[in-house]
Amino acid sequence: MDRYSFLNAAHTAFFAELYDEYLQNPDGIEPSWRSFFQGFDFANEYSDGPVEQLSKAYAEPGDTKQLEQFQKEFAVLKLIEQYRTYGHLLTKTNPLRDRNVEAPDLSIQNFGLTTADLNTSFEAAKSVQLPVSTLAEIIKHLEQVYCHTLGIEYKYIINEKEVQWIQNHFEAPEAVFDANQKKEILGKLIEAVSFETFLNTKYVGQKRFSLEGLEAAIPALDMLIEAAAARGVEELVMGMSHRGRLNVLANVFKKPAGEIFSEFDGKDYNEVEGFDGDVKYHLGLSSMRQTKSGNDIHLNLAPNPSHLETVGAVIEGIARAKQDRLYADNPSKVLPIALHGDAAVAGQGIVYEIIQMAKLRGYKTGGTIHLVLNNQVGFTTNFTDGRSSIYSTDVAKVTNAPVLHVNADDTEAAVRAMLFALDYRMEFGTDIFIDLVGYRKYGHNEGDEPKFTQPLLYKLISKHPNSRNIYSGRLLEDKIIDSDYVTALEQKYKDALESSLEESRKHEFAEIKTFMEEEWKGYEKASEEKMLMTYDTKVSKEVLTDIASVVTELPGDKKFISKIKKLINDRKTMFFESDKLDWAMGEMLAYGSLLTEGFGVRISGQDVERGTFSHRHAVIKTEDTEESIILLDKLKDKKGQFSIYNSLLSEYAVVGYEYGYALTNPKTLTIWEAQFGDFSNGAQIMLDQYISAAEAKWNTQNGLVMLLPHGYENQGAEHSSARMERYLQLCAEDNMYVADCTTPANFFHLLRRQMIANFRKPLIVFTPKSLLRHPSAVSSITDFAEGSFQELIDDQEVAPRDVKSVVFCTGKFYYDLVAEREKLGRNDVALVRIEQLFPLPVEKMKAVIAKYTHADDYVWAQEEPRNMGAYSFMLMNFHEVPLRLAATKAYSAPASGSSTRSKKRYAYAIAKVFDKNL
């Protein structure tokens, strides 16, 4: 008899009508019926035949027992779904104590089942890859799959294919490691534990931010690398903060232990000039590893500061740069891995920004594996005070990334989680998180007393066996190893460390290796003297004409709005008729010339495709289809790649990302543009810790360009100043360039110098707003073809013998001073533009002063208030003559919100230039 014939007794017409309603509007019917039909659809997916077979069964006679059995099948299916959805809340993932979380009620009574059903067999078992099984067997399987030491959150994922893939993996019979694999896992655990023990013995009380309590991360990462290389991954890019970093460097990246010991011994560096180094647990490393199966994989651990999550953005930029440069046809060959602390991943806002990048065309990297080293406390703060979410990893839900929760005492579970994460990433190209829950054996650092703040927790930790002893005990019990196996491995590893320590103490200096040294072959470190040299940045008129012909011609078969047609036609006129090229045209010529010479150009930031001030229009949209047209892509001699992306509304993460990109690809002009200059405040950590200091700390070069619109146009406090004073305060020795250009040609040569030179320095450019269309802020074709970057532009409009006042100024203020000078008819005032503020062209400034032999008044003029702008920088760095300040008084805000008040202040600053008595 057909086993669905009993449905005839259940008023099939009513079933049919209600099911039709459910199909039209699932939320419109009573919840219990909705659940019933969801189970019906789910059961149909796993039945031997389609819904039509069930529908035909309605007309056949049945009995109430079969109806009851059918309803219980659905109840079991609903139970299964609840385990899949909420089982992670029941996992045994805390190695120290019971979890403090509100657990769901998955008792069978809650689903209309009874203990009498435990021995009943159910077809629903097939949905979890079991044969027809009893309810007790189904529950046992579900407990093992979803509620043991490894749990997973995934039911919020929208993509059904991903959901089904996860279920198929987890609910299948568990793969078992063979004896050799278990020995490999144990070997890495022994290394992880022995390394920390050795350091604790030899360097008592020294900070090392040990991994103890989370040692399972070492075999998990090691097995991941082996598996990734076998899957075709050729580059691994990792970022992590200090917790466990030395252990990862030594036992995963194979950094020579002797180098680590030299750092512990506090030796000076073999490089002195311009290099200060960093603490040992901030340093990075690049190394080549050959796996046991014979595959080569390049490993990169990026250096990072104590701002814990900043490096997450940097490694994404590094990964994307490698993908663009080497693996454009198969980006999955570059694998980013981000290691987080539980307190940091929950508390640091940059994590959310990075997660939002994961699927954006300008920033995606094909999926990142996020490993959270969860020690259940942040410095002295319990997790109950550190986050409102259940898990530290709940940010993963933003992009539907699954999360695995693992007990760090179960090393095999940690390894399985990591291998699953790799398979998932390679299959779907999206992010995945692993929450490895362990503990922190000591305080925040090894000199800290954790019992001050967590006495009960640390009583538990003091009695808890380490993961090596737990796992070796299992292998002893299974007779995979004998009692001497662990002792022998420990002694061998310890002997190797002792030998490395002895050898390291024969050397006077500590040596810091250059991160990603291979990418920087042929590039030299530059002193300030080299930065001030003149570089040949000229481009022939023929090449400029070819570029101009392309960027001033819209496709004839496309439809564009009239304003775009006029703008492009105006560019054609300025180049081919008037010979007065504006800022945007100069910028396009710079990019085009670099592309023809084989350099890449990458630009990102908020609204950069068009430009905040509608000046760039690097991407033009057709009127009827919004098709993107990039005229620079049509260059016939184009050898480099031009990429421009409107970014997400982020400064912090995006600047970090572009910094990482520039760190990896010195042959690409990498630019981040702020919507307004002071919006870079949101990325201040990247400026302080990376852009201004990375070369001194980590011996790395970086050519990132930051374009910061700057200028007082009565637009209020947040749209006037790019906070020039902050960048200049960071300038020292030879760490970066800071410029404020006044002509399109000088900007053109500045950008070209950035790539022509055989070194890289970050470049901060205060770019104009009103000058983008100022009739005087233009350059001739000759200025581009025959000029070079001018750090200083002297006044050519006055006779030196008539000059009484020499005024130094920058940027837009120059043009306003020129207008005032003309208005007053003052030919005794020379206006000298400082186009590059750092390195300051002191010798050229001295030459200018010597030229004006009758001058007795030397002025620094700025549009910013006295306590802002470049004034304090000039006082510290230029002592040839005393400088009288022409500016407004000091203010707390950069500018007034009242346009009337702003204009009065501005007029006062201008007046002070021409009247020393004000």
Q: Please, are residues 714 and 903 in contact by the beta-carbon 8 Å criterion? A: yes
pLDDT category at 50 given cuts 50, 70, 90 is very low
Burial 669-682 (b: 16+ CB within 10 A, else e): bbbbbbbbbbbbeb
From CA 267, how far away is CA 256, in angstroms rounded? 16
Predicted pLDDT at 193: 96
Q: Which of 10-24, 436-450, 470-484, 635-649 has the lowest mean pLDDT?
A: 10-24
Cβ contacts of 9 within 8 Å, gap of 6 or more: 61, 62, 63, 64, 67
Q: What is the pLDDT of residue 278?
A: 80
**Can you read off the two tokens belonging to residue 225?**
């690398």
Beta-strand ranges (E) seen in 221-294 are 235-239, 285-290
User: Tokens standing for 697?
Assistant: 């700390």
Residues in the chain: 918
Q: Is 57 a residue whose pLDDT tops 90? A: no
pLDDT at 240: 94
Does residue 827 have a pLDDT over 80?
yes
Write out the two tokens for 684: 């201040």
Residue 397 has pLDDT above 60, yes or no: yes
Q: How confident is the model at residue 46 (pLDDT cuts 50, 70, 90)?
A: very low
Q: pLDDT tens digit string along 713-727?
A: 999 999 999 999 999
| Alpha carbon distance 513, 357 (integer Å) | 31
pLDDT > 70? residue 48: no
Q: Which pLDDT value is given to residue 155?
A: 96
**Cβ pair 133, 122 in contact under 8 A:** yes
Q: Model confidence over 550-575: pLDDT tens digits?
A: 999 999 999 999 999 999 999 999 99
Q: Which residues of 180-204 are buried (b: 16+ CB within 10 A; e: fewer)?
A: eebebbbbbbbbbbbbbbbbbeeee
Please state at what angle helix 160-171 crosses helix 411-428, rounded to 10 degrees. 150
Bigger pLDDT: 678 or 33?
Answer: 678
138-165 average pLDDT score: 96
Provide mean pLDDT across the span 72-77. 92
Span 402-431, pLDDT tens digits: 999 999 999 999 999 999 999 999 999 999
Nearby residues of 466 by Cβ (< 8 Å), 6 or more positions away: 193, 212, 213, 215
Helix spans in 611-709 (H): 652-664, 684-686, 694-698
Six-digit token pair at 538? 């000229």
DSSP 516-547: TGGGGTT-----HHHHTS-------HHHHHHH
Q: Can you tell me the distance from the alpha carbon of 81 to that of 785, in angstroms, rounded to the nearest whole number? A: 70
Section 653-669 average pLDDT: 98
Q: What span, in angstroms and rounded, lies between the C-alpha atoms of 387 and 348?
A: 11
Note the helical H segments in 389-447: 411-428
Nearest in space to 439 (alpha carbons), one of 217, 247, 221, 279: 217
Q: Quick: pLDDT tens for 862-904.
A: 999 999 999 999 999 999 999 999 999 999 999 999 999 999 9
Backbone φ/ψ region at 428: left (φ over 0), alpha (ψ -120 to 50), beta: alpha
Contact assessment for residue 246 and residue 208, using Cβ atoms and an 8 Å cutoff: yes
Query: Tokens 């997973």 label which residue?
Result: 152
Is pLDDT at 659 greater than 70 in this prediction? Answer: yes
pLDDT of res. 69: 84
Task: Report, as an integer, the average pLDDT of 188-212.
Answer: 93
Average pLDDT, the chain: 92
- Listed in sequence order, the DSSP H helices in 465-582 are 467-477, 485-504, 528-531, 541-551, 562-573
Mean pLDDT across 572-584: 97
pTM value > 0.85? yes
Tokens matching residue 303: 């250096």
- pLDDT value at 370 more than 80: yes
Mean per-residue pLDDT for 618-640?
Answer: 95
The pair of three-digit structure tokens given for residue 815, joined into one six-digit string: 């043009």
Closest CA to 797 of 829, 775, 773, 774: 829
Looking at residue 405, its pLDDT comes to 98
Q: How confident is the model at residue 58 (pLDDT cuts 50, 70, 90)?
A: very low
Residue 265 confidence (pLDDT): 85
pLDDT for the residue 63:
60
The total of other beta-carbon atoms located within 10 Å of residue 411's CB is: 27
pLDDT of residue 7: 42
Task: Provide the 3-class DSSP secondary structure of residue 753.
Answer: helix
Q: Is the pLDDT of residue 4 over 90?
A: no
Q: How far is CA 771 from the centre of its chain?
A: 33
**Residue 444: C-alpha distances to residues 216, 407, 647, 870 (Å):** 19, 21, 36, 41
Torsion over CA: 734, 673, 359, 242 (sign): positive
| 30-39, 131-140, 283-292, 601-610: least confident range | 30-39
pLDDT given at position 6: 36
What confidence category does residue 393 fall into, taking pLDDT thresholds of 50, 70 and 90?
very high
Q: What is the pLDDT of residue 9?
A: 40
**pLDDT at 28 (0 to 100):** 66
- Local confidence band at 399 (pLDDT 50, 70, 90 cut-offs): very high
Looking at residues 489-495, what average pLDDT do you find? 95
Using alpha carbons, list the distances in angstroms from residue 871 to 80, 558, 569, 868. Answer: 70, 51, 42, 7
